[in-house]
């Protein structure tokens, strides 16, 4: 556990040691506030965060890969990964340390959107349940996106390639649950396969949490996604380490 915390604290300090973290937070908070209001937030005359949560998965598709692209690509390109693995820590401790630090950073970004719920409470009397479960779902979904980004960052030394691959993978996993995608696939896929594809989507499980429903299947889905992609990242790095 000592190795895990060492890597985690080192990585978290690294975010705020450069302007990158602040630029990310400013851009994220700008779009997190702008996109819901762009969609006629006030004209809807409904005090809730439905529009905010509607845009959150799309915003994550582009923003989260921008934070993960450097996690391992930069370490491999600069050669500092050899120094990291020369320390008395395991590969899994290093991967988890970096992942948890990135997840904590995204958690800070989500907490900084607090003016959104304050605004809806000022304007009306929203149901607190869907707001809390929506934020919980957003945090878990962010973990899923981060795990995918970590995997592709470990896959290549090039940060741009890592970013592009992560964006494409996240976009696919998100979009396969959209009604338009499902309608298109229903033309040539049986219902059983269509249902399985729908259950693989971030959107499907996040939508139910936006409505205030915390189901075991949704929580377990995000946990399995995180564990699966983080484990795949560990395998990739172990192979690089042995090579």
The two tokens of residue 62 are 């582009």
176: three-class secondary structure by DSSP: coil
Total structural domains in the chain?
1
pLDDT per residue of the chain (243 residues) written in tens, 0 to 9 = 677 888 888 888 888 887 888 888 999 999 988 888 776 665 656 667 888 898 999 999 999 998 888 888 877 777 677 777 777 788 888 899 999 999 999 999 999 999 888 888 887 788 888 899 999 999 999 999 999 999 999 888 888 999 999 999 999 999 988 888 888 887 777 888 888 888 888 988 998 898 888 889 999 999 999 999 999 999 988 887 755
Measured between alpha carbons, how far is 38 from 219 in angstroms, rounded to an integer?
A: 31
Domain that holds residue 216: 2-242
Other CB atoms within 10 A of residue 168 CB: 13
Q: What separation in angstroms does the CA of 24 have from each of 32, 46, 53, 68, 104?
A: 12, 30, 19, 12, 14
């Amino acid at each position: 556990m000592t190795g895990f915390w060492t890597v985690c604290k080192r990585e978290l300090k690294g975010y705020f040691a450069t302007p990158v973290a602040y630029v990310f937070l400013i851009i994220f908070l700008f779009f997190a506030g702008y996109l819901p209001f762009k969609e006629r937030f006030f004209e809807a005359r409904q005090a809730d965060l439905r529009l905010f949560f509607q845009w959150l998965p799309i915003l994550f598709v582009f923003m989260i890969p921008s934070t993960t692209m450097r996690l391992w690509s930069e370490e491999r390109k600069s050669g500092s990964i050899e120094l990291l693995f020369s320390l008395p820590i395991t590969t899994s401790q290093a991967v988890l340390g970096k992942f948890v630090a990135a997840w904590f950073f995204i958690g800070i970004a989500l907490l900084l959107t607090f003016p959104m719920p304050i605004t809806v409470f000022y304007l009306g009397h929203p149901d607190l349940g869907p707001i809390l479960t929506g934020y919980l779902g957003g945090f878990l979904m962010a973990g899923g996106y981060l795990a995918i980004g970590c995997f592709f960052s470990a896959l290549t030394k090039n940060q741009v390639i890592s970013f592009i691959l992560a964006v494409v993978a996240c976009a696919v996993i998100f979009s396969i649950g959209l009604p338009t995608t499902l309608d298109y696939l229903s033309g040539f896929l049986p219902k059983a396969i269509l249902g399985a594809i729908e259950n693989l989507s971030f959107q499907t499980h996040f939508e139910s949490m936006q409505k205030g429903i915390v189901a075991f299947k949704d929580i377990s889905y995000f946990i399995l996604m995180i564990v699966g992609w983080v484990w795949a990242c560990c395998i990739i790095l172990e192979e690089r380490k042995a090579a």
